Amino acid sequence: QAAELASVKVNAENQVEALKIQGEAKQLAFSASLLASGSGYTGPFNTDITLIFRNVVTNIGNAYNPNTGLFTAPVRGVYHFDFHIHGHGSTNPTSAVLVKNGEQIFTSWTHQPAGAQKASNGVSLLLEIGDVVFLRMRANSRIYDNTDNHTTFSGHLLFTM
């Protein structure tokens, strides 16, 4: 009977631990701005590039990688992403694309010859475990950021499926 009780206790402890892990996986949110310090432009380049948001303000669940710029879904669910890009008047536009697993989902684009400009977009997506979401700057675009954190990328899990 003691062995049976010990077995029940171990099973209960394992179930509690599994529930803790599951609960932690449901707590996912990140927000980051483009530059970790200073100010300046990213681009223009003659090819599309992945934007790497280095100033991470929040990264609950560590699903956003500030070394690669990639968000990787750890659980199946619906996630919401927002992005805001900033520029100054130029011959180059300010443009970024939200990408899921290599597929363009939404674009944000602005262009004017003078003055500050900002463009934004957002989307809710059903992601599977391992799906990857990131922002890609379009070729010949340029994006500005400084310590005021104008250019940002954020996302969070709305609910699991």
Kindly state the DSSP code that residue 67 receives in the 8-state scheme.
Answer: T
Mean pLDDT estimate for the chain: 89
| Phi, psi of 83, deg, nearest 5 | -145, 145
**Which secondary structure element, helix H or strand E, spans residue 11, and what is its range?**
helix 2-25
pLDDT at 116: 86
Write out pLDDT tens, residues 64-123: 999 999 999 999 999 999 999 999 877 888 899 999 999 999 999 888 777 888 899 999
**At a CB cut-off of 8 Å and minimum separation 6, what does 89 contact?**
112, 113, 114, 115, 116, 117
Residue 25 has pLDDT above 70, yes or no: no
By C-alpha distance, which of 66, 79, 90, 58 is closest to 129?
A: 79
C-beta of residue 133 within 8 angstroms of C-beta of residue 40: no
- Mean pLDDT lowest among 22-26, 99-103, 124-128: 22-26
Is the confidence at residue 3, as pLDDT, over 90? no
For domain 28-160, give the fold.
Jelly Rolls (2.60.120)
For 130, left (φ over 0), alpha (ψ -120 to 50), or beta? left
Joined tokens for residue 153: 């990328």
Report pLDDT for 91.
Answer: 84
Which class for 123: exposed (0-12), middle (13-18), buried (19 or more C-beta within 10 A)? middle
| C-alpha pair distances (Å), 105 with each of 48, 89, 94, 136, 138 | 15, 26, 17, 11, 14
In this model, does residue 49 exceed pLDDT 80? yes
pTM over 0.85: no
| Amino acid letter for position 107 | T
Residue type for position 66? P
